[in-house]
Amino acid sequence: MTRIDAKFADLKAQGKKAFVSYIMAGDPDVATSLEIMRGLPAAGVDVIELGLPFTDPMADGPTIQLAGQRALDGGMTLKKTLEMAATFRKEDDTTPIVLMGYYNPIYSMGVDAFLKAAKAAGIDGLIIVDLPPEEDSELCLPAQEAGLNFIRLATPTTDDKRLPRVAQNTSGFVYYVSITGITGSAEADAGDVAPEVIRIREASGLPVIVGFGVNTPAKSQAIAEVADGVVVGSAIVSRIAAGDSVADVLSFVKSLSDGAHAA
């Protein structure tokens, strides 16, 4: 059982929904992003999604793209991202960390070397946006053999024919992208999300966490009421980009997690 599996089992036992937060590793700089990461569990975050900066983030909107560029400009790399996770793990051995990004940096490091380093750093799961199920032998299957959850994205265009393929070999949870488009480009609607969550949960047997288009405490609660949890990324990253203090960023995160946990 991974930390992700244990977290969702614990939340289910408590009758609570999950709150997942995304931050970009190294944004606005390594020290500040680590300080924010360290504060996330106390702000009510159940699972941390740690963004891996990449030069061509095709699924991300301007907010996340610019965060990745700031991190890259500051010298952030895959190796340093894993070092950041390892530093966090020295103080927190329970909060799950999901590394979210694209395959190119992992491919460049080498899959075996990456999986060994990720496991040593305390990474629990992977969301690799540009690896479809047809490429499971590349990373998904080796990752699961190494004890990491491989978390797949489902979208409004994932029809009943495609969904079983998406659910195959997925573990931990399914990330439902609530809108068609890039991150930060529209708002999620609970009425539209609810039947999709049921459909995906039945197909996968896994918790379904909804992201993209969640940007307020009220929206966080509304989406969590019809899903197993909610992910917020762009709204948090935009506060970091605006130069908010670490305390203010974490206060905003707490308001979002309170919304999700009130569901």
List the domain boundaries for the chain. Answer: 3-261
Contact 52, 85 (CB under 8 A): no
Q: Which residues contact 7 (CB under 8 A, 6 or more apart)?
A: 18, 46, 47, 94, 95, 96
Confidence bin at 178 (pLDDT 50/70/90): confident
Secondary structure element (H or E) that encloses residue 80, with its range: helix 78-89
Mean pLDDT of 26-37: 97
Q: What is residue 57's predicted lDDT score, i.e. its pLDDT? A: 87
Q: What is residue 207's predicted lDDT score, i.e. its pLDDT? A: 97
Catalytic sites, residue numbers: 49, 60
Helix (H, G, I), strand (E, B) or coil at 208: strand
DSSP 8-state secondary structure symbol assigned to residue 123: -
Does CATH number 3.20.20.70 belong to domain 3-261? yes
Confidence bin at 190 (pLDDT 50/70/90): confident
Tokens for 38?
A: 């360290």
What whole-number distance in Å separates Cα of residue 48 and Cα of residue 24?
11
Q: How far is CA 36 from CA 48, 60, 96, 141, 253, in A?
A: 11, 21, 15, 32, 10
Tokens for 149?
A: 């959850």
Mean pLDDT of 178-206: 82
